[in-house]
Amino acid sequence: MDGWTGHVMKKTSRKTTTTSFTISMQAEAMPLVQTLQLTEEDEPSVFPKAVPWKKYSGTHEGLSVHVVVPGKDFNLGVDSVGTVPVSMLTYASIVSLHPDLIINAGTAGGFQSKGAAIGDVFVATQFANHDRRIPVPVFDEYGIGTLGATPIPNLVKALALKEGKMSTGNSLDMTPEDEEIIKANDATIKDMEGAAVAYVADLFTVPLIALKAVTDIVDGSKPTVEEFLENMSTAAAALSAMVPRVLKYVSGKKIADL
C-alpha cells in the first residue's frame, strides 16, 4: 500500500508543538540528547517504576522535545532493541506525552543496489515486516503489515534527504527467507523497530517520520556485525547533525505542509 492511511490525515492540520523521538540504542540517543541539550526526567517518572525506559526532555526551536529510549534489559544489561520494547515505549509515550509528531530515529542496514551508502540518513516512505511469515490467506498480508509513511515531500526536498521503503525484523542478520520478503517489500533500508513504531503510531493516528542512518551495507561484502560496529558512531553523528535541521524545519509548521 502506498501513500498513508486516511485517518492519520485528520491530525495534520494543527501546528506541531510536541515531538517525541523513539530511539532504541543509548549510543544512538546520547549524541542527540547532548546536541539538543535535553535533560533526563526527574522523579516522578511518566513511565511506570518497573520499566527501564528513559526520557530526556527540553525545548528546541520552540518545540517541546522528548527523546525516549527503552533502556537496558534488566537481565543482560544491553539495550532493549527490537519491536516489542519499542512498541510498548511508543504506546506509553503517546499516552503520557501526547506528541503531535513521532520521530523514530536510529540506524539501519542499507541496500547499495537501491542507492544506500554508509552514513546516509534515510526517510522511510513505507513500513513493512519481514519476519512475520503466516502463510494463511489474509494473515499473510497482516504479517507483512505494510503501512504508508506520513508524506513529508517538502522536508525531504529542503534537507536533500534520501528516501526509501523500510523493512523491519527482529534480527540484525538476514536469513534467505527474510531476504526474499525484504525484496518483495522493495526495501532500501532494513531495521529492527520501524514497522512496530508505525503500527502504534497508526493505531493512535499520530504522524510518524522514521529517520535512519545507514551503518552497514546489507548486499555488500563485509560481515554485517563488523560493519555495524565499525560505523555506529559515524551513523549516530550523522543523525545528530540532521535532527536539529529537521526540528528547525518542522517547527511552527503543520504536518500537512511538511
Query: β-pairing, 162-168 with 189-191?
Result: parallel
**CB of 177 within 8 A of CB of 133?**
yes
Cross-strand pairs, 21: 67, 103
Number of residues near ligand ADE (by CB under 6 A): 12
Catalytic residue among 191, 193, 202, 216: 216
- Decide: is 194 part of the binding site for ligand ADE (CB under 6 A): no
- Alpha-carbon separation of residue 180 from 159, 185, 218 (angstroms): 32, 9, 13
Q: Which stretch binds ligand ADE (CB under 6 A): 58-66, 103-111, 131-139, 158-166?
A: 103-111
Q: Determine whether 186 is an active site residue.
A: no
Q: Which stretch binds ligand ADE (CB under 6 A): 5-13, 150-158, 175-183, 211-219?
A: 211-219
- Decide: is 104 part of the binding site for ligand ADE (CB under 6 A): no
CA-closest candidate to residue 169, choices 235, 232, 93, 108: 108
Q: How far is the CB of 60 from ligand ADE (least distance, A)?
A: 26
Among 23, 69, 103, 108, binds ligand ADE (CB under 6 A): 108
- Alpha-carbon separation of residue 52 from 76, 91, 150, 157 (angstroms): 12, 15, 29, 37
Collapsed DSSP state (helix, strand, coil) of residue 193: coil
- Decide: is 9 part of the binding site for ligand ADE (CB under 6 A): no
Name which of residues 73 to 102 contact ligand ADE (CB under 6 A).
none
Nearer CB in complex with ligand ADE: 82/148: 82
How many Å apart are CA 1 and CA 128, to the nearest integer? 10
Nearer CB in complex with ligand ADE: 23/192: 192
Q: Determine whether 230 is an active site residue.
A: no
Catalytic residue among 2, 28, 163, 226: 28
Q: Which helix (H) or strand (E) holds 104?
A: strand 101-110
Give φ, ψ of 184 to 5 degrees: -65, -30
- Decide: is 216 part of the binding site for ligand ADE (CB under 6 A): yes
- Decide: is 120 part of the binding site for ligand ADE (CB under 6 A): no
Nearer CB in complex with ligand ADE: 110/148: 110
Cross-strand pairs, 217: 110
Give φ, ψ of 9 to 5 degrees: -55, -35
Would you tell me which residues interact with ligand ADE (CB under 6 A)?
Answer: 107-109, 172, 190-192, 215-216, 218, 224, 228
Active-site amino acid positions: 28, 216
